[in-house]
Structure 1
Amino acid sequence: MKRFILLAIAATISTAAVAAPETYVIDSNHSMPRFSYSHFGYSTQLSRFDKATGKIVIDRAAKTGSVDVTIDTTSVNTGFALFNEHIQGEDFFNTAKFPTATFVSKKMNFEGDKPVSIDGTLTIKGVSKPETLTVTSFMCMPHPMLKKDACGANATVVVKRTDFNMSKHVPYVSDEVTITLPVEAVKQ
């Protein structure tokens, strides 16, 4: 019996020693942040950004992690070239001066073994605000095609355009914007 207890303790200690943070690089081909807003109350408009980069560091055993995402705001895709130019103008993203938006976090909040929210700083148009992303799905497993470990997640947050100096057409075009961040990342 003593031997069994000692083996169990040794296994626990060696597992704890092996657990360490893992770094995952965002796959830009499968990570296209989206944003949606009410257009005059008629409909909800949905647009996306075609380029995002960054990394996720996660230690599932310690239930800690960080996220660093950079969105290329010049890659905004509304479905219409003229509207893309309008959204990139000074009244909105002002991409000539602010070509990126970022979300940087040092804190993941877990329930059980999965992250449920991520506290961090969202910077858009040079304005930084604390925001919490709600994680709506999360999964890690070996990627069937890449033959490497990968993680995927969807996270969302609702922000106000006026907080980021983008108040044109408020309240006709809603102040509240839902940002959805679908991410796939491959282990380094």
Structure 2
Amino acid sequence: MSATTEIPGYVAAKWTIDTAHSNIAYTVKHLGLAKSRGNFTAFTGTVVTAEDILGSSVTVEIDAASVASGVDGRDEHLKAEDFFHVAEHPTITFTSTGIRAEGGDDYLLDGELTWRGKTVPVTLQAEFNGIGVNPANNNATTLGVSASATVNRRDFGIGPEGNAFLSEKVKIDIELQAYLEA
């Protein structure tokens, strides 16, 4: 019995990420005292569900210049050369390389994150939230996934090295909805 037989409404298909109902956010400690948060407001992507969920895949492309922390000056600094360097690296991408069952609705989504021109393997802890109808999107058949990972910004050459001002650990949180392509 495959894991997909236990997911109501599951179909093997291609899904488009619904950016109006999805969020890609980050959290990083500032001065070791408090967490600074932000998100990316422009991204696209697809989910391809296979007959067995473990054969499924995800690709996401993020506009690095869409970073939004709520502080204009900080956003401009993040876009600059010492952080995201969006003039030279305008896109952040994630491409999955495999999915592993962790138990229940929980999975490990392995993939490659390319940020600032450097590609690093990343594992997201993911929860498959289910499939249903979205009345806010013309009753589209929609799937939902929550995922998170912690990455080291220095692996991507982002920001100064070993700095008490800004933690090297960055938590990424994703709330994703994707609609079934016709």
Give the alignment partner of residue 141 of structure 2, picking from 120, 134, 149.
149
The answer to whether the Cα contact below 8 Å between 2:45 and 2:60 also exists between their aligned partners in 1 is yes
The CA deviation string for residues 128-173 of structure 1, in whole angstroms up to 9 with x for no partner, is 0111110145221122332221011110010001100013263211
Partner of 2:54: 63
> What is the percent sequence identity of the aligned residues?
30
Q: Distance in 1 between matches of 2:116 and 2:66?
A: 15
1:111 CA displacement: 4.6
Compared with structure 1, are the counterparts of its residues 42 and 71 closer, same or farther at alpha carbon in structure 2 (3 Å cutoff)? Answer: same
1:21 CA displacement: 2.4
Q: Distance in 1 between matches of 2:26 and 2:142?
A: 25
Equivalent pairs, count: 171
Partner of 1:184: 177
Which is higher, the Rg of structure 1 or of structure 2?
Answer: 1
Q: Distance in 2 between matches of 1:28 and 1:44?
A: 25
1:20 CA displacement: 5.9
Compared with structure 1, are the counterparts of its residues 177 and 62 closer, same or farther at alpha carbon in structure 2 (3 Å cutoff)? Answer: closer
- What SS does the aligned partner of 1:174 have? strand
Q: TM-score, normalised by structure 1?
A: 0.83
Q: TM-score, normalised by structure 2?
A: 0.86
RMSD after superposition? 2.0
Give the alignment partner of residue 174 of structure 1, picking from 144, 155, 167.
167
Structure 1 runs of 4+ with >6 Å offset? none
The answer to whether the Cα contact below 8 Å between 1:74 and 1:95 also exists between their aligned partners in 2 is yes
> Structure 1: where are the runs of 5+ without partners?
1-14
> Structure 2: where are the runs of 5+ without partners?
none
